[in-house]
């Protein structure tokens, strides 16, 4: 990726998330507390690190963005108030806002339905995975 | 209102609560009300006046009055109570010698504005709700009170009484967005040359009568630096033009973070210099740089110039913000 | 004799005894040049500088006034420069409000170790003031022509 | 005690129990819940992006309508509470969002976060009082060992939710005591059950939910209570073992004798 | 007008090469009031000084201006010279024509012109100089030490050794502080009690030291050399001078269920107790919160068993008044409360402990008699996980933004001791950074890793779940980029330390300043690290910032030496360049007081002549010259100009301004 493009993307992520990755002291507590750690290729602390280094593309192609549970444990427990969860969401948004990049399509829904699945699950999935 | 106030004054005198009453009486003209001390029912009945021209801030007179024996009653409008508090904070008034009667106020009038409205040869002004009834040499006329309101009352910062022992009428609230900084903001938006021209025009009118200082409730120094030969800046009369501007800057600085923005300085200026715009500049800067602060609002908060935080802005902020470059 | 018409502004520098005055001494010790227009007045702390001094300097013909003190947090008297910082901010803002050129006043924090910074600051300040020319505005503020 | 009530979409469909018992228990306790006439789905997930405004509007409409009615806004579903509380926090603190939201909505009176948002549990704790609740209990659930499952949304981020100590919450335990049962404290009560991921990555949801029920069981819990329909679904359907899970309102209704 | 002499120094060629010194002397000789002007090669030499002395006497000079190097160099020299000649030393002013003139300019006419202007400014100033005499104030030769931990004890011992009486005020029933609870000390691993208790005994036996245990300082008034303190001796319901410390009462007391704070609540004590065997003073104390006799008037067992008759249920708090010349703050620290860190399950499992609790569990005098056992079941733990930085380096409200400094080392110590005593254990330490600057510190930490096989893992613990008798630890290993799971038997949390909660009120009492974390601030962070900016107040130990025992003892000694230096003087010479309020102009508005960093300004109501022979009562400020340090902040805050600074008066500075701008 071009240098300028990278810089612009980094700025976008910082703007969407409102997170300042420089506050991080690299303790790793976010990744220690993350319940979806094993499902992620890039982990919460790496989101912070790579955004700081401006390597957004790696994150955009990672499966971590789809597996974040939005449990806010990383955000709550971060000793430096870095809020990694917001970075992950920002990267996910950067992906799904691209043309044709919806992660979830309406036609997939019927496959998921079972009689007890609450509305909440479907609504939130759309919010999280589609534009 | 006047009758209520007079009755209260007489009551306080006669039931022994106070020995003296600080109020207003007519000066040279009916619209020129000056502060006065009353000691008897007769005096009050005869001379005590409260009208739309009772703008004079009585707080300052309490510096001297409260030090006398006995107790003095003072009638204070909301803006006067701010000055009163500020003076209390600076230990200038002996609180236990004062009985404060707070009086609700919804704005005083300015004779200049009545004249500007077209009234000539005005003999008396009577308020009736939202209208003013004028007797003039050329017969009676009426006008909206709102059209006669003094500039400082139009952008009143607060109708709340912040200090009183008892009150007459229902006071109001602190007024957010009073618009009192609009003119300051307008000046700030000018180029330095335009600002300079503005102030040159205004300050050139100064005749150094010291009225602004003498009326200012923040200027209660035992001896003013401008009168003190040892201060190095004493001036009986200005040696050169520079000293005049220095006088106004120093005066504004001396009252900075203490000025309650009562507007008396501009009211009394015989040359109509908008002196309050200097004080308001400091207030606006303080609010913006160090957080909202209203002198006299309470007795505890530290005045911003006697306070700091480690994160305060650097003086260079002045170069960076506001105002177009020449 | 050669006549030099180049404008040489008069600059007053108030330096606190503990940091900036020592910083000025150090720039001397290291032979770092700055213009001779700068004359230093020693004060115990930047918080001793009364706005009256600054106005007085301008009144008596100074073209620029600079106040130097310890860096915030390093004040010999712990808090002096914090008060100075607020006072000078407000004063400078007022001067600007009156239309006086911003460049004529300045506050700079110079530690005892910053001889080079002192010299650089003075060079820069003299240059700024020289560009502004003679200080007429404060003097003329009241004289509407 | 009168409150505006925001049931939320799930309570109208799959989580009717939660809604029903909330209404019944409130009635028994003398708490009036007036359903907001024109509420819309909150969106189920709080949009964290600073540049998104559209996804917040439905919450703001509900908040503004509660403001106009003059009551605090009560929610029961954890997700609705989370979203509405945080959007309200934005409307109190983020000038940019306030400006843009009000520009969009063109309400008669612009909204600035005036409405107080309360979870039904907060109503019980702060408005009614658990002591008072305990007095009203008719059928104390004596001897039942109940684990409180908080999940994520009620507690975090604690700075905005202001619900309880995020690592050491007590509100549900105090509630359990008030209805006469014995609370079981276990470490995973504030850990994620993985509910949100159930469509995307079911095995993960199973793993997380099982961790919760296992931790609760190891500490002696006989059943779990929660305020979240999705958690309830996930813990019931996805977790291994068969830990019973109830809405807290169901047990409340039972204790009050209105079930 | 003063008769002024001007002395221009060549400084060899340092000045003379760029400044025409003769021209300067000549020009300045023409200034008003100047009656003598000369130049000389080295003014600071003996010959130069003699020349100044002679001129002062010969020309009857009232003021002296010396154009030379920086006043920071030789101002004191020339002031002494003037004094020897019979002139007040403060009638000397220096014009700095070397550092600020000859050394920075190359062109002689320019430099000479500037030197003349600088000389003029000095002359203008000296005209307004007034003779100043340094005031004197007496010194009470007794010191007060607030806090009886190792910092307070060491300070007291050092002061007492120099022959000055010292009082230690300790709020707990015994002195010794946190160090009494520690098992071994790093990096030498000697036993804390073995090195501390002799010092406690020494303090008790030193005739210059009085120990007020179970006491607090109620109020402090006065200033350096002249403090007056009120000390509250809290009722311990036991006569301290009668009790023999036999401990019988503490065995017979029927109230057995009182959490023992010495063991951090890991076991219980009685309502009447002696904190530990080596307590000083070794006397019993009744805990009024638990004593049945004090609460309900029924019991009285301790009084019955006490053969010495020391029990006194009617004892009241006693107030002691005493004068002091110096005060040392040694209020120490506490670990923070871990209420907001329950992701580590601290409140859920007794097997999750703080490091200080762990000290007690390892200590021979602790609840387990020194055998490491799990608090939950008394079993021997096999897997231990240490978590560092719990609450340290945190910007969240519940944490502390600073590094607590001691945790890396004591954690290494704990890990090492564990492995040494119980080789069958697996010990993990989770760290963000290992910080070991100190003599033999890093070697110590490396030994833990290399010799004792402690597993140091870079990363943090995210969650601890107590389950089936184990603590399931979920953590990150940043170097391998993995989330790891350990089934531990014990988890030990290195909780951040914070200043004792009493520090804030003591700081207010002493007008000593604090930082945002409630640590006391130093007069200068580098050069005056053991003094508070408030004269006469000294700092010892962690109250000033996190530190370990060696550092604390070093600082305690340093504070003591400062105190000794102060108490050794009969009188304090005050800097005469202090602020002074002109009572006639003072408004009493308190503006000056608000900006004074030293609390040197007080107010009183005074009578003044008013108009028509009346008397007017006015509130006026006065400056205590012994406390004022002469910064001048008050002079600018004062709206009326009543406040002025001697030696740097408004008129003097204005005169300099005028001379420079002319």
CB-CB neighbors (< 8 A) of E432 in chain A: 25-28
DSSP letter string, B150-179? -HHHHT-SB----S-SEEES----B-TT--
**Average pLDDT, stretch C77-98?**
92
Based on C-alpha coordinates, what's the Rg of chain E? 33
- Residue D43's pLDDT band (boundaries 50, 70, 90)? confident
Q: Structural domain of residue C99, as residue ranges?
A: 11-140
Which range (B22-26, B228-232, E155-159) has the least confidence?
Answer: B228-232
- Inspect the structure and tell me whether chains B and E have 3 or more CB pairs less than 8 Å apart: yes
Q: Give residue-wise pLDDT tens across range B245-273.
A: 788 899 999 999 999 999 999 999 999 99
Chain E touching partners, 3 or more CB pairs below 8 A? A, B, C, D
CA nearest to E617 within chain B? B67
Asked if D167 and E465 come within 8 Å (Cβ–Cβ), the reply is no
For strands C11-16 and B122-128, give the pairing: unpaired
User: From the candidates E99, E595, E642, E654, which should be mutated to test the interface with C, based on the most C CB atoms within 10 A?
Assistant: E99
Which one, of C106, C138, C141, lies nearest residue C11 by Cα? C106
Using CB atoms, which residue from E588, E618, E637 is nearest to B306? E637
CA nearest to E619 within chain B? B91
| Fold match between domain E143-220+319-331+507-567 and domain E334-498 | yes
* Nearest-angstrom CA–CA distance, D7 and D75: 6
Does residue C142 register a pLDDT over 70? no
Residue B326 has which token pair? 């020449």
Q: Give residue-wise pLDDT tens across range D203-217.
A: 999 999 999 999 999
Total domain count, chain C:
1
CA nearest to E653 within chain B? B232
Determine contact: A73 vs chain E, CB below 8 A: yes
User: From the candidates C71, C97, C138, which should be mutated to test the interface with B, based on the most B CB atoms within 10 A?
Assistant: C97
- Residue E268's pLDDT band (boundaries 50, 70, 90)? very high
Residue D36 has which token pair? 């907001």
CB-CB neighbors (< 8 A) of D194 in chain A: 35-36, 69
On whether the CB atoms of residues A36 and A69 are closer than 8 A, the answer is yes
CB-CB neighbors (< 8 A) of A34 in chain D: none
What pLDDT was estimated at residue B326?
A: 34
* Nearest-angstrom CA–CA distance, B305 and D14: 62
Q: What's B276-292 look like in SS3?
A: HHHHHHHHHHHHHHHCC
Distance from CA of E648 to the nearest CA of B (A): 13
Based on C-alpha coordinates, what's the Rg of chain B? 21
* H helix and E strand count, chain D: 12, 8
- Residue E443's pLDDT band (boundaries 50, 70, 90)? very high
* Nearest-angstrom CA–CA distance, C131 and C125: 10
* Nearest-angstrom CA–CA distance, A128 and D45: 8
Q: What is the four-CA torsion angle of D131, D133, D139, D142, rounded to 10 degrees? A: -40
Asked if A34 and E462 come within 8 Å (Cβ–Cβ), the reply is yes
Q: Which stretches of E490-644 are DSSP H helices?
A: 503-510, 549-567, 591-595, 633-637
Q: Give residue-wise pLDDT tens across range C31-71.
A: 999 999 999 999 999 999 999 999 989 888 899 999 999 99
User: From the candidates B232, B282, B302, which should be mutated to test the interface with E, based on the most E CB atoms within 10 A?
Assistant: B232
* Nearest-angstrom CA–CA distance, C12 and C122: 10
Distance from CA of D158 to the nearest CA of A (A): 7
Domain spanning A3-98: CATH 1.10.1060.10: yes
Q: What percent of chain D has pLDDT over 70?
A: 100
Does residue B38 register a pLDDT over 60? yes
Does residue B241 register a pLDDT over 80? no
* Nearest-angstrom CA–CA distance, C68 and C15: 5
**Average pLDDT, stretch B295-309?**
92
User: From the candidates B217, B223, B246, B258, which should be mutated to test the interface with E, based on the most E CB atoms within 10 A?
Assistant: B223
Asked if B314 and C107 come within 8 Å (Cβ–Cβ), the reply is yes
On whether the CB atoms of residues B78 and B170 are closer than 8 A, the answer is no
Q: Give residue-wise pLDDT tens across range E44-89.
A: 999 999 999 999 999 999 999 999 999 988 999 999 999 999 999 9
Asked if E467 and D215 come within 8 Å (Cβ–Cβ), the reply is yes
On whether the CB atoms of residues D91 and D60 are closer than 8 A, the answer is yes
Q: Give residue-wise pLDDT tens across range B86-103.
A: 999 999 999 999 999 999
Using CB atoms, which residue from C87, C98, C99 is nearest to B305? C87
Give strand pairing partners of E431.
E458
What pLDDT was estimated at residue B323?
A: 42
Which range (A106-115, B39-48, B103-112, C125-134) has the least confidence?
Answer: A106-115
* Nearest-angstrom CA–CA distance, E370 and E373: 9
* Nearest-angstrom CA–CA distance, E17 and C54: 34
**Which residue ranges make up each domain of chain A?**
3-98
As a CATH number, domain E334-498 is: 3.50.50.60
Q: Is B312 helix (H, G, I), strand (E, B) or coil?
A: coil
Q: Is B193 helix (H, G, I), strand (E, B) or coil?
A: helix
Does residue C145 register a pLDDT over 80? no
**Beta strand ranges found along chain B (DSSP E):** 20-26, 33-38, 72-76, 98-103, 122-128, 131-136, 139-144, 166-168
Pick the CATH number of E143-220+319-331+507-567 from 1.10.530.10, 3.50.50.60, 3.30.450.70, 3.40.50.1820: 3.50.50.60
Does residue B230 register a pLDDT over 90? no
State the complex-level ipTM. Answer: 0.68
Tell which E residues from 580 to 609 touch A, by Cβ distance under 8 Å: none
Does residue D23 register a pLDDT over 90? yes
Does residue E186 register a pLDDT over 60? yes
Using CB atoms, which residue from B91, B225, B233 is nearest to E588? B91
Asked if D167 and E348 come within 8 Å (Cβ–Cβ), the reply is no
CB-CB neighbors (< 8 A) of B204 in chain C: 142-144
Q: Give residue-wise pLDDT tens across range D50-69.
A: 888 888 999 999 999 999 99
**Which residue ranges make up each domain of chain B?**
2-107+159-168, 111-148, 182-320
On whether the CB atoms of residues B142 and B124 are closer than 8 A, the answer is no
User: From the candidates E466, E467, E470, which should be mutated to test the interface with D, based on the most D CB atoms within 10 A?
Assistant: E467
Which one, of E461, E481, E482, E483, lies nearest residue E473 by Cα? E461
Fold classification of E4-127 (topology level): Rossmann fold (3.40.50)
The more confidently predicted of residues E614 and D207 is D207
Does residue C144 register a pLDDT over 50? no
Asked if B222 and E640 come within 8 Å (Cβ–Cβ), the reply is yes
Asked if C28 and E661 come within 8 Å (Cβ–Cβ), the reply is no
* Nearest-angstrom CA–CA distance, B185 and C5: 41
**Average pLDDT, stretch C21-35?**
93
Is residue C36 one of the residues assigned to a domain?
yes
On whether the CB atoms of residues E79 and E90 are closer than 8 A, the answer is yes
> Left, alpha or beta for E416 (phi > 0: left; psi -120 to 50: alpha)?
alpha
Chain B touching partners, 3 or more CB pairs below 8 A? C, E
Determine contact: B104 vs chain C, CB below 8 A: no
**Which residue ranges make up each domain of chain E?**
4-127, 143-220+319-331+507-567, 248-305, 334-498, 579-646
Using CB atoms, which residue from E105, E633, E658 is nearest to C80? E633
Q: Give chain D's contact residues with A (Cβ, < 8 Å).
A: 8-10, 13-15, 41, 43-45, 47-52, 55, 77, 79, 152, 155-158, 166, 191-192, 194-201, 204, 208, 229-230, 232-233, 236-237
CB-CB neighbors (< 8 A) of D187 in chain E: 345, 348, 463-467
What pLDDT was estimated at residue E223?
A: 84
- Inspect the structure and tell me whether chains C and A have 3 or more CB pairs less than 8 Å apart: no
- Inspect the structure and tell me whether chains E and A have 3 or more CB pairs less than 8 Å apart: yes
Q: Which stretches of chain A are DSSP H helices?
A: 3-17, 29-33, 44-53, 56-60, 64-67, 73-77, 84-96, 109-112, 119-129
Asked if A76 and D157 come within 8 Å (Cβ–Cβ), the reply is yes
What pLDDT was estimated at residue E315?
A: 96
Asked if E595 and C77 come within 8 Å (Cβ–Cβ), the reply is no
- Residue A2's pLDDT band (boundaries 50, 70, 90)? confident
Determine contact: C24 vs chain E, CB below 8 A: yes
* Nearest-angstrom CA–CA distance, A85 and D82: 15
CB-CB neighbors (< 8 A) of B254 in chain E: 639
**Domain D137-256 CATH class label:** alpha beta
Fold classification of E579-646 (topology level): Alpha-Beta Plaits (3.30.70)
Instruction: Identify the CATH number of the domain in which residue C96 sits.
Output: 3.40.50
For strands E4-9 and E34-40, give the pairing: parallel
Cβ-count burial E159-169 (b if 16+ within 10 Å, e if not): bbebebbbbbb
- Residue E660's CB is within 10 A of a number of other CB atoms, namely 25
Fold classification of D2-120 (topology level): Glutathione S-transferase Yfyf (Class Pi); Chain A, domain 2 (1.20.1050)
What pLDDT was estimated at residue B317?
A: 86
Q: What percent of chain A has pLDDT over 90?
A: 65
Question: Cα angle at E468 between E465 and E474, to 5 degrees?
Answer: 25
Determine contact: B253 vs chain C, CB below 8 A: yes
Asked if C41 and E653 come within 8 Å (Cβ–Cβ), the reply is yes
CB-CB neighbors (< 8 A) of C139 in chain B: 240-242
Determine contact: C28 vs chain E, CB below 8 A: yes
Q: Give residue-wise pLDDT tens across range D60-116.
A: 999 999 999 999 999 999 999 999 999 999 999 998 999 999 999 998 899 999 999
């Amino acid at each position: 990726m071009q240098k300028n493009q990278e810089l612009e993307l980094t700025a976008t992520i910082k703007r969407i998330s409102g997170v300042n990755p420089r506050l991080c002291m690299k303790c790793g507590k976010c990744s220690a507390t993350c319940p979806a750690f094993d499902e992620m290729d890039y982990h919460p602390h790496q989101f912070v690190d790579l955004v700081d280094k401006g390597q957004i593309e790696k994150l955009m192609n990672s499966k971590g963005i789809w597996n974040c549970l939005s449990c806010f444990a990383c955000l709550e427990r971060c000793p430096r108030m870095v809020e990694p969860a917001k970075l992950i969401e920002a990267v996910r948004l950067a992906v799904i806002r691209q043309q044709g990049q919806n992660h979830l399509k309406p036609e997939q829904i019927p496959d998921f339905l079972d009689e007890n699945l609450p509305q909440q699950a479907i609504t939130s999935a759309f919010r999280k995975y589609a534009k | 209102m006047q009758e209520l106030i007079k009755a209260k004054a007489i009551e306080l005198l006669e039931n022994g609560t106070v020995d003296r009453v600080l109020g207003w009486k007519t000066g040279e003209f009916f619209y020129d009300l000056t502060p006065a001390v009353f000691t008897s029912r007769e005096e009050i009945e005869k001379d005590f006046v409260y009208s739309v021209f009772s703008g004079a801030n009585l707080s300052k007179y309490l510096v001297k009055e409260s030090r006398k024996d006995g107790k003095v009653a003072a009638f204070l409008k909301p803006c006067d109570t701010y000055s009163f508090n500020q003076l209390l904070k600076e230990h200038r008034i002996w609180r236990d010698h004062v009985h404060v009667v707070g009086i609700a106020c919804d704005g005083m009038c300015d004779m200049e504005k009545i004249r500007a409205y077209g009234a000539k040869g005005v003999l008396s002004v009577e308020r009736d709700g939202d209208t003013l009834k004028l007797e003039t040499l050329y017969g009676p006329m009426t006008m909206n009170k709102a059209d006669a309101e003094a500039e400082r009352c139009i952008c009143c910062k607060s109708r709340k009484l912040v200090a009183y022992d008892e009150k007459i009428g229902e006071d109001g609230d602190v007024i957010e967005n009073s618009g009192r900084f609009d003119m300051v903001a307008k000046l700030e938006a000018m180029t330095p040359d335009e600002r300079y021209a503005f102030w040159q025009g205004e300050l050139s009118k100064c005749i150094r009568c010291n009225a602004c200082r003498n009326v200012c409730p923040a200027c209660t120094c035992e001896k003013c630096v401008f009168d003190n030969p040892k201060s190095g800046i004493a001036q009986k009369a200005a040696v050169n033009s520079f000293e005049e501007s220095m006088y106004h800057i120093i005066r504004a600085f001396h009252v900075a973070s203490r000025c309650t923005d009562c507007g008396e300085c501009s009211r009394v200026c015989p040359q109509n210099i908008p002196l309050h715009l200097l004080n308001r500049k400091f207030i606006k800067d303080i609010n913006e740089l160090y957080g909202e602060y209203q002198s006299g609002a309470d007795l505890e908060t530290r005045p911003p110039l006697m306070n700091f935080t480690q994160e305060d802005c650097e003086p260079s902020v002045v170069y960076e913000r506001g105002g177009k470059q020449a | 004799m050669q006549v030099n018409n180049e404008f040489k502004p008069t600059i007053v520098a108030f330096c606190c005894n503990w940091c900036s005055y020592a910083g000025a001494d150090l720039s001397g010790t290291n032979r770092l040049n700055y213009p001779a227009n700068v004359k230093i007045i020693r004060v115990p702390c930047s918080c001793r500088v009364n706005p009256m001094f600054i106005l007085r300097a301008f009144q008596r013909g100074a073209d620029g006034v600079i106040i130097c003190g310890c860096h915030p947090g390093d004040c010999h008297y712990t808090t002096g420069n914090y008060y100075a910082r607020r006072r000078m901010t407000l004063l400078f803002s007022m001067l600007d409000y009156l239309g006086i050129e911003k460049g004529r006043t300045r506050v700079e924090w110079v530690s005892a170790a910053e001889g080079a910074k002192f010299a650089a600051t003075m060079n820069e300040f003299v240059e700024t003031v020289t560009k502004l020319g003679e200080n007429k505005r404060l003097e003329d503020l009241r004289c509407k022509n | 005690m009168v409150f505006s009530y925001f049931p939320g979409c799930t309570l109208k469909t799959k989580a009717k129990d939660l809604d029903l018992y909330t209404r019944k228990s409130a009635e028994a306790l003398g708490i009036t819940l007036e359903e907001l006439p024109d509420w819309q789905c909150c969106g189920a997930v709080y949009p964290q992006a600073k540049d998104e405004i559209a996804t917040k509007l439905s919450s703001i409409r509900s908040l503004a309508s509660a403001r106009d009615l003059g009551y605090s806004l009560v929610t029961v579903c954890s997700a609705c509470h989370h979203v509405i509380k945080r959007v309200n926090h934005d409307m109190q603190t983020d000038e940019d969002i306030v400006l843009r939201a009000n520009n969009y909505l063109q309400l008669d009176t612009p909204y600035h976060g005036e409405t107080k948002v309360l979870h039904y549990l907060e109503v019980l704790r702060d408005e009614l009082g658990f002591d008072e609740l305990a007095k009203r209990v008719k059928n104390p659930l004596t001897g039942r060992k109940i684990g409180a499952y908080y999940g994520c949304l009620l507690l975090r981020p604690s700075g905005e939710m202001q619900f309880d100590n995020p690592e050491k919450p007590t509100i549900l335990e105090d509630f359990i005591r008030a209805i006469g049962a014995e609370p079981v404290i276990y470490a995973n009560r504030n850990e994620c059950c993985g509910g949100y991921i159930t469509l995307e990555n079911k095995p993960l949801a199973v793993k997380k939910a099982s961790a919760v029920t296992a931790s609760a069981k190891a500490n002696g819990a006989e059943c779990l209570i929660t305020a979240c329909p999705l958690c309830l679904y996930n813990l019931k359907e996805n977790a291994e073992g068969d830990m019973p899970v109830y809405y807290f309102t169901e047990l409340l209704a039972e204790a009050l004798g209105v079930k | 007008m003063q008769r002024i002499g001007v002395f221009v120094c060549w400084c060899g060629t340092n000045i003379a090469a760029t400044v025409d010194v003769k021209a300067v002397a000549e020009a300045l000789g023409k200034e008003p009031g100047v009656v003598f002007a000369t130049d000389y090669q080295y003014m600071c030499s003996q010959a130069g000084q003699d020349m100044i002395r002679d001129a002062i006497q010969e020309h009857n000079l009232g003021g002296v201006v010396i154009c030379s190097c920086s006043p920071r160099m030789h101002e004191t020299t020339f002031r002494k010279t003037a004094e020897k000649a019979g002139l007040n030393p403060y009638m000397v002013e220096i014009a700095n024509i070397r550092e600020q003139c000859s050394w920075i300019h190359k062109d002689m006419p320019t430099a000479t012109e500037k030197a003349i202007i600088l000389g003029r400014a000095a002359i203008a100033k000296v005209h307004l100089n007034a003779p100043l005499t340094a005031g004197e104030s007496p010194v009470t030769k007794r010191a007060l030490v607030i806090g009886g931990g190792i910092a307070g004890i060491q300070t007291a011992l050092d002061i007492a050794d120099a022959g000055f009486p010292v009082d230690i005020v300790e709020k707990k029933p015994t002195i010794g502080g946190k160090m009494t609870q520690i098992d071994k000390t790093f990096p030498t691993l000697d036993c804390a009690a073995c090195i501390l208790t002799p010092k406690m005994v020494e303090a008790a036996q030193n005739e210059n030291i009085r120990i007020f245990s179970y006491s607090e300082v109620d109020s402090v008034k006065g200033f350096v050399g002249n403090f007056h303190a009120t000390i509250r001796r809290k009722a311990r319901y036991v006569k301290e001078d009668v009790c023999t410390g036999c401990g019988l009462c503490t065995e017979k007391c029927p109230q057995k269920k009182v959490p023992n704070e010495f063991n951090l609540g890991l076991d219980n004590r009685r309502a009447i107790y002696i904190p530990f065997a080596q307590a000083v003073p070794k006397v019993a104390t009744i805990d009024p919160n638990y004593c049945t006799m004090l609460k309900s008037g029924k019991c009285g067992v301790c009084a019955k068993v006490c053969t010495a008759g020391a029990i006194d249920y009617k004892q009241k708090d006693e107030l002691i008044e005493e004068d002091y010349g110096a005060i040392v703050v040694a209020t120490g620290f506490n670990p923070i409360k871990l209420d907001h860190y329950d992701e580590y399950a601290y409140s859920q499992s007794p097997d999750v402990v703080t490091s200080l609790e762990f000290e007690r569990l390892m200590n021979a005098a602790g609840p387990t008699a020194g055998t490491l056992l799990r608090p939950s079941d008394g079993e021997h733990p096999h897997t231990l996980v240490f978590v560092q930085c719990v609450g340290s380096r945190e910007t969240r409200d519940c944490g502390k933004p600073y590094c607590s400094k001691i945790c890396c080392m004591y954690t290494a110590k704990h890990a090492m001791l564990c492995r040494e005593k119980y080789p069958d254990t697996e010990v993990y330490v989770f760290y963000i950074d290992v910080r070991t600057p100190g003599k033999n510190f890093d070697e110590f930490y490396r030994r833990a890793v290399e010799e004792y096989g402690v597993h140091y893992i870079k990363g943090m613990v995210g969650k601890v779940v107590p389950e089936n008798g184990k603590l399931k630890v979920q953590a990150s290993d940043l170097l391998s980029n993995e989330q790891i799971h350990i089934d531990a038997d014990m988890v030990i949390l290195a909780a951040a330390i914070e200043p004792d909660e009493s520090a804030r009120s003591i700081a207010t009492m002493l007008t000593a300043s604090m930082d945002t974390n409630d640590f006391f601030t130093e007069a200068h962070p580098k050069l005056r690290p053991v003094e508070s900016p408030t004269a006469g107040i000294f700092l010892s130990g962690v109250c000033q910032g996190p530190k370990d025992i060696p550092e604390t003892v070093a600082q305690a000694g340093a504070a003591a030496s400062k105190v000794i230096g102060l108490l050794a003087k009969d009188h304090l010479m005050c800097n005469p360049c202090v602020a002074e309020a002109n009572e006639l102009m003072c408004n009493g508005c308190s503006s000056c007081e608000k900006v004074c960093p030293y609390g040197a300004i007080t107010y009183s109501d005074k009578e003044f002549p008013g108009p028509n022979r009346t008397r007017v009562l006015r509130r006026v400020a006065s400056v205590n010259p012994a406390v004022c340090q002469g910064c001048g902040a008050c002079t600018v805050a004062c709206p009326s100009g009543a406040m002025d600074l001697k030696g740097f008066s408004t008129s003097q500075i204005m005169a300099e301004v005028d001379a420079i701008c002319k």
